[in-house]
Structure 1
Amino acid sequence: MSDTLFGPDNLPYGLFSTPDRPGHRRLGVRFGDDVLDVGAAAAAFGSAHAEVLRAPSLNPLLAAGRSVWRAVRAEIRAWLTEDAHRGTAAGHLLPLSGVRLHLPFEVADYVDFYASEHHATNVGRIFRPDSDALTPNWKHMPIGYHGRAGTVVVSGTPVVRPRGQRKPPNETAPVFGPTRRLDIEAEVGFVVGTPSEQGSPVGLEGFRDHVFGVTLLNDWSARDIQAWEYVPLGPFLGKSFATSVSPWITPLDALDAARVAPPARDFPLLPYLDDGAAGGEPGGFDLRITVRLNGHVIAEPPFSTMYWTAAQQLAHMTVNGASLRTGDLYASGTVSGPERAQRGCLLELTWGGRDPLELPDGERTFLKDGDEVTLSAWAPGPDGSRIGLGEVTGRVAPSV
């Protein structure tokens, strides 16, 4: 299966059901264009981990910890690749086209960061053209906010255009109605497995012990609602109406070949964020993202340019003693690179609506009803292979 993005070096986890049993959700692992019914396979092979693999959610496996994650991954790889097991495993493979995919885990808390220097600089220049693009704290700590876990939805879920207060520049008072500046943000999400105790920070070295895997994420944004509400406390209703994630969670171990050093830092970091010590593994990931609007490529943001790493984000959001819970999700913030074609949101791509995108189906500054956005990505794998991250798609539905 050397020509697939979902071969034995990947093995992402999801949750699925079949038409004959729509209410029975099962854990699956994607293998090429098939899905392995992991719980049924675990029972057939007599796996010691059959109980967590037969759960109707990924959460029990997430909570089991890194030693179990690695053991289960090794088992599944053996079932799918070793001659002695292939016949049995084949009986539990289902065509991907014949199953329905669901949100793979129960989201506990959701945090969104702002980790791309290119994105933060562009946004600063758009909104504060006469001031410094970056705020004074930006290069000293990862900036983030707490989002709404209950509106994290799986790929394919329609995104209803939100309504709210907005204040057009030519108006003296706010008006109420559907957002006119609906945007996307191409991001990467990290899924927490092992919890931590309240009052006990998780250091940089704890990243692999607590984070299970990676998912593509679209942080939908109503820019006009956001602009009116975010002073002084930050994003709220302009962000909380929907966050779309891929139905597939790629284990961290599948991305070992994609680890890269982050960009050089401009200021000394405080000890809990300082990842420059000798012997530590590279903190960045070489993920190549593609953003499509109605099937047309509009951007290719490189995740390797992110200033703050996922390990630093985890350390920062627990340094005050905040605890981790199984199923916590935290996102990178918009991924953008130095080139125009590498900007991960329409706000940047159109420079606040000033420079519309010219597409085969017409101009776009922000999203129209019926528009469909798809994020896809791949990363370098072992021996020249590629590791695919599951796509995340959402179509804009009219306001209700």
Structure 2
Amino acid sequence: MPPTSCDVAVVGGGIMGAATAFWLRRHDPSLRVVVCEAETLAHGASGRNAGFLLLGTHTDYASAIGAHGRSRARQLWQFTQETVQLIRETLDGAAFDLALTGSLIAAGSPEEAERLRRSAELLAEDGAEAVYHDAGDVNRRIHAQGFHGALFVPEGGTMHPVKLVRHLLALSGATALEGARVTAMEPVNRGMRLVSERGIVEAGMVVLTLGAYLPQLVPEAAQFVRPVRAQMLATAPVAPVLGLPVYSHGGFFYLRQHADGRLLLGGARHLHEAEEVGYDDATTEALQADLEAYLQTHLPEIGAPVIERRWSGTMGFSPDGLPVVGTVPGLERATFATGFTGHGMGFSLRFGLLLANRVFERTDSYADLFDTRQVNAAT
């Protein structure tokens, strides 16, 4: 069969690939964009997460300042604020069950509670809105026990991640090739040639949004990302206890409740670190038992709910916990983005815009924020 020709090929049909295709076509509707997905759209981490739309990074704001400096931490917070704003103003939230409830960052220890209290002060100084609640307030608010305090962030909320990916691609009008795993790529003439399981794709530019799987195509990218498994469970419907997503214990547990009463809970990988590294997407009895114990400890009102489903997905973790953008070594027409460290949804739409701007060689105020040089400097 003849090659598929396009102006830009996006490799990876998850949230970053869909967001990039959306902005490419929004900037230039005549652009021929092809999205190559190895399995089905949102098959990987984008379709296996809890659908949290959180501000900031994987850690609290005070810790982010300690790790990255005040200026960069502020930029990262603003970047995710822009994601929420773009989602709210640009997309049809009803198409992907968008609920802008805000979020609750709950402390699993007194030390974490103090960091969250300090985070509230720092965010206020930087012009962001966040409210600290003491232990009594937070436990009453979500019918829980055992939390030592919490930070309420009024922006953000939840959505259905698979529906969001499909909504973006439908709006983009890009051609989606499912079952088109890309196994090789090489420069040809003034473009790129991709070898996929559905044939050859010839493109002027390539954007790789493969998450944890990037090193399988670009081995040099292993310095920027490693695969980490995330396990989750879903209960049968229970009485309403949560009106917003809860991100607790430094992000090592995360919990939300659907409108139908089902609870979604993920995390506990810090209790099984060695076992949770790699591409195996099986669930394990030991970690799943820790998830159930978390429910019994913090939400005793719901009793011991029936667990209807258990699953896992593979996330891409970066060395410093932040995404990274770069050019594939030796392939100046191939850009990659990876290392979202479990927070791809919070970065999603604004990150797709950043990648599209990179393709078009347009100025982007965040162009240097995620550059590979930042990782190199940190390491």
Q: Same fold (TM over 0.5)?
A: no
User: 1 or 2 for the larger relative contact order (CA 8 Å, sep ≥6)?
Assistant: 2
Q: TM-score range by the shorter chain?
A: under 0.3
| TM-score using structure 2 length | 0.24
